[in-house]
Amino acid sequence: MKNVIFQIKYDFINGIVHQWKKFLLIAVVYAVLITDFLVRCKTKHFMGQYTSSDIILYIFRGMRWIVDVQTDINIPTAYILPNILIGFAIGNYPFKDINGYGGMVLMRAGKKLVWWLSKCIWAVFTACICYGILILEIAGVSLAGGRLSLQVNKQVCISIDGYDKTLIKNNPNLTRLTVYMIIVGLLTTIAICLIQICVSQIMGPIIGYIAVVVILIMGVFFRSFLFIGNGFMALRNIMYTPEGGSLTLTVIADIVLIVVSVIAGYASFRQMDILKKSDWRV
């Protein structure tokens, strides 16, 4: 147990505290997205009327289903960029660690399971911190110029966020949709982070990063919430539109991918010879 706590503390300090610049970059990107929302509110005279939920639904708006080949494909910045940057925050820290002090500790202690589980916990912490940054920024902006509330201002939702008036007007699920987008969004981000470090362990950090991009792009084109990128898109959710998909599928897929990633990554790492540089996935 002592080894576990030591390893988790070590990864928290070296993989999060010492990597603060990456989180600062993510904070800046979230700030830019929120600023874009505020500019739109000011232009359409909604300053002081928006709520926290309006900002969340703006950031997690996503895009409508692609119904034919002639549909214009405009992947929203708010969908692709934060998730790419979270992948950047995950980066190749585990593999830099094993090439440095972490590798020496591992060779001395021989606790591969502890090392791997600690890296998985670190990835979960990374995702949670990123969402914590987003929530804090939304709360701050809401307190400063809007309302700190989960209640949705439907007029803002229609005019600023771009939701369909006919689907919003009598929709009783908007607050629930907002909460679900944050919770399922976080779970999906955790799943993607663990997939990334698993693939990175098996095939290398660059391939792991590519895997993140592929997951996000597949979410754009495939009309099923089993493709977990759809979990970030409120416009495709059944709580918004009858043609939408259920987040239950995304949750199931997330949990399966999390479990498989942890097990498969450890199985690969257990076979790795720390003393052989040819086995290092760098």
What's the confidence (pLDDT) of residue 39? 93
What's the confidence (pLDDT) of residue 245? 84
Helix then strand count (H, E) for the chain reads: 12, 0
What's the confidence (pLDDT) of residue 278? 42
Q: What average pLDDT is seen over the chain?
A: 86
Identify the residue whose tokens are 């060779």. 107
245 DSSP β-pair partners: 237
Q: Is the pLDDT of residue 71 over 80?
A: no
Predicted confidence band of residue 277 (pLDDT cuts 50, 70, 90): very low
Predicted confidence band of residue 70 (pLDDT cuts 50, 70, 90): low
Predicted confidence band of residue 111 (pLDDT cuts 50, 70, 90): confident
Number of domains in the chain: 1
User: Taking Cα atoms as reference points, which of 147, 87, 99, 116 lies closest to residue 3?
Assistant: 116
Yes or no: say if 30 and 41 are a contact pair by the CB < 8 Å rule.
no
Identify the residue whose tokens are 């199985």. 267
Question: What's the CA gap between 82 and 202, in Å, rounded?
Answer: 25
Predicted confidence band of residue 192 (pLDDT cuts 50, 70, 90): very high
Question: What's the CA gap between 169 and 127, in Å, rounded?
Answer: 34
Mean pLDDT of 67-91: 81
Question: What's the CA gap between 77 and 256, in Å, rounded?
Answer: 28
Q: Which bin fits 112, alpha (ψ -120 to 50), beta or left (φ > 0)?
A: alpha
Kind and range of the H or E run holding 119: helix 112-145
Tokens of 228: 């977990």
Maximum CA extent, the chain? 64
Mean pLDDT of 113-126: 91
Tokens of 139: 């709360």
Low-confidence winner among 68-77, 115-124, 184-193, 219-228 (lowest mean pLDDT): 68-77
Question: What's the CA gap between 258 and 252, in Å, rounded?
Answer: 10
Yes or no: say if 79 and 92 are a contact pair by the CB < 8 Å rule.
no
Mean pLDDT of 70-82: 80
> Which structural domain, as residue segments, surrounds residue 32?
2-279
pLDDT tens, residue by residue, 211-239: 999 999 988 888 787 889 988 999 888 89
Predicted confidence band of residue 187 (pLDDT cuts 50, 70, 90): very high
What amino acid is encoded at 170 in this protein?
A: N
What's the confidence (pLDDT) of residue 274? 61
